[in-house]
Amino acid sequence: MLIQNKIKLATLVFMTAFTANADFKNIRISNFQGQYLSPEGTGRADYFSIPTVSNLHAPPYSEIKIFKGNDNFQLSVNEQDYLWEDAPASLLEMQSLNWSNINFNTVPKKISLSIQSLEGATESKRLSLSRASASCSHTGNSHEGFVEDLLESCLNGKARLRITSFNNEDKSDFFNKSELTKFIHVLQGINDKAPSIQQEIEDVEIDISNHSFEARLKTKVVINATIKAEGKTYFDSDEQVARIRIDKVKASFFNITDKVFEELEKNQGTNLRVERPWVYVSLEK
């Protein structure tokens, strides 16, 4: 799942930051940097404010302590606590993390996020992300939850995502046995029997406007391959479902749309359903 793994991870890192119990309109985080070695870490920021029930606010440069739970992270500063519930599994599984200059702001009509660098590692994988940014324009429809507001803004409004570089070295059988990964490796002349493959993605561009999306990225293993995708995006707040229509995916001159759907179909579950050309992602637990 070359394409899905990378975009999914980038999206999780970008778009689910601090989702639980937060006031959508007033989050402000500036120059957040730190390090984490499971199960705890520390960070500092020029400005760090998440309006919640406890109104977490860190004075400039004060230490922010981070603790890992079963499915959450707890942030503590000056005897104030913030519980990031249902944190993405892709972050919870990380044994170490280092990050610099993360900025995340929400205002009534816009969400913006930028990351200078992010590095993480588990026993089977290492990843790094550099010079990334994302922004979504609010549609004016407000919902109770932050996630709903976020998806309303990004999938029904106007969104822009840019990533300069994303690197991933994965030794897991799941990654290396992916049929889509093998197919792209064939295009690039790569021996699939290699014990680990280092994937590098560059110049990611995803734009959404009026429910239409266009995506473009470069993959680099032995040679460069440009992957392009296009389709439609919708978020139904009543049904708590994001709907994505994938019209076309190409790797250089090769149409790999069917391969993408085959990989998605293999990973259907409670929250993911595929009915070509549609992909449904449910927020229901």
Question: Do residues 243 and 278 lie in contact, with contact meaning Cβ atoms separated by under 8 Å?
Answer: yes
Supply the range of the domain harboring residue 134.
2-29+90-282
* 237 within domain boundaries: yes
pLDDT (tens digit per residue) in 106-140: 877 788 999 999 999 998 888 898 999 999 987 76
* 83 within domain boundaries: no
Supply φ then ψ for residue 183, to 5 degrees.
Answer: -60, -45
Q: When comparing pLDDT for 188 and 40, which is higher?
A: 40
Sign of CA dihedral 149, 150, 155, 156: positive
* 242 within domain boundaries: yes
Q: What pLDDT is stored for residue 62 in this prediction?
A: 82
pLDDT (tens digit per residue) in 57-78: 777 778 899 999 888 899 888 7
pLDDT (tens digit per residue) in 162-199: 999 988 776 554 444 455 555 555 554 444 444 445 56
Q: Position of tokens 């739970």?
A: 69
Q: When comparing pLDDT for 238 and 173, which is higher?
A: 238
pLDDT band at 26 (very low <50, low <70, confident <90, very high): confident
Q: What pLDDT is stored for residue 150 in this prediction?
A: 78
* 136 within domain boundaries: yes
The model carries a pTM of 0.78
First vs last Cα of the chain: how many Å apart? 24
* 62 within domain boundaries: no
Closest of 210, 202, 198 to residue 168, by C-alpha: 198
Q: What pLDDT is stored for residue 77 in this prediction?
A: 84
| Paired strand residues for 187 | none
* 34 within domain boundaries: no
* 75 within domain boundaries: no
Question: What would the 3-class secondary structure string for 174-211 be?
Answer: HHHCCHHHHHHHHHHCCCCCCCCEEEEEEEEEEEEECC
* 199 within domain boundaries: yes
Q: How many domains does the chain have?
A: 1
The percent of residues above 90 in pLDDT, for the chain, comes to: 38
